[in-house]
Each structure stands twice: as structure tokens, then as C-alpha cells.
Amino acid sequence: MEKKAEKNISNDFSKMVNEKNPESTLLKDCILAFVIGGLICDVGQFFMNLFLSYGVSNDDIGYYVAAIMVFLGAFLTGIGVYDDIAKYAGAGTVVPITGFANSIVAPAMEFKNEGYVFGIGGKMFVIAGPVLVYGVSSSVIVGLIYYFLMR
């Protein structure tokens, strides 16, 4: 009997929580993510055009731009600015490659106190690790499909 009463209260409670739960400001968040993420892409495009004008070949340009953007992401993380931008940008700072740099540099900074091996070395990929594991795995699978079907 008491179990049943408790279950009723529990159901009522879930309803109350859902009713009172404040909504995330989805539209505003999307716009901010679009604008700030877009600006990061503009910076990338700027460097791309710059290198092209210096005669870097189309095949190599990706490496140059990626290196610059990773550096910028890491640098802004290092001076403690990237997370402040991310508070407003959300996905806008997560999706570009600068976000990837941030996800590796942030734990590396954080866990320095636990030493260079088990701290920095061990914890550096706590956030980026899953992305790498599944990114690499899925690219292998796609590569195999390509190899057998499109050859």
C-alpha cells in the first residue's frame, strides 16, 4: 500500500518537475552558435585565402589552415578565453576544429597537478578520446566500403 502511494507521489513529482523546468533559450542559442561559429569559419577562410595568395597548392591548403586554427583554439584556451566565448556560442565553438583543440588543451592544463605522465598524459584525451575512437573507427569502415564497392 505504502509502495503504491509513493509511486503516485513519484509520478506527480515528475509531472511537476517537467512543468516547472525552464526551457533552454533554443532560438537565441542557435543564432549565437551560428554567428560565432560562422565567425570562426571566416577566420579560417581568411587564412585560406592568405595562403592561396602566397601560392600554397590546393592540395596542401587544408593542412595549413587546420594547423593555424588548432593553434588559435589552443592559444585561446591557454589564456582562458575560449570557455568564456563558449558560454555564449555553445555548438558554435564546439563544432569547428578550434573546439577540438580546446577539448585537449583544457584537460592537459587541468590535470598538470597530477604529474606529466598520469596527469597530462593520461587525462589529455578524456573528452576528445571518444571522438577519436569513433571518428577513426567509422573512417576505417567507410574506407573499407569504398575499397570494395568503388574500386
Does 107 help bind other proteins (rule: CB under 8 A)? Answer: yes
Q: Residue 40 or 65: which CB sits closer to other proteins?
A: 40
Does 9 help bind other proteins (rule: CB under 8 A)? Answer: yes
Does 129 help bind other proteins (rule: CB under 8 A)? Answer: no
Spatial neighbors of 102 by CB under 8 A, at least 6 apart, are 73, 74, 76, 77, 82, 83, 86, 93
Among 1, 3, 24, 53, binds other proteins (CB under 8 A): 24
Does 100 help bind other proteins (rule: CB under 8 A)? Answer: no
Window 39 to 68, contacts with other proteins (CB under 8 A)? none
Q: Could you give the CA distance from residue 75 to residue 127 in angstroms, rounded to a whole number?
A: 18
What are 30's three cell numbers?
542557435
Does 106 help bind other proteins (rule: CB under 8 A)? Answer: yes
Helix, strand, or coil (residue 95): coil
Does 29 help bind other proteins (rule: CB under 8 A)? Answer: yes
Contact criterion met (CB below 8 Å) for 96 and 44: yes
Helix (H) or strand (E) holding 142: helix 128-150
Q: Which residue has the cell 573507427?
A: 137
Window 131 to 150, contacts with other proteins (CB under 8 A)? none
Q: Any alpha helices (H) in 54-90, and if so which ranges?
A: 61-78, 82-89
Q: Which residue has the cell 558560454?
A: 87
Does 113 help bind other proteins (rule: CB under 8 A)? Answer: yes
Among 41, 64, 90, 97, binds other proteins (CB under 8 A): 90
- Residues of this chain that bind other proteins (CB under 8 A): 9-10, 13-14, 16-17, 20-25, 29, 77-78, 80, 82-83, 85-87, 89-90, 93-94, 99, 102-103, 105-107, 109-111, 113, 127
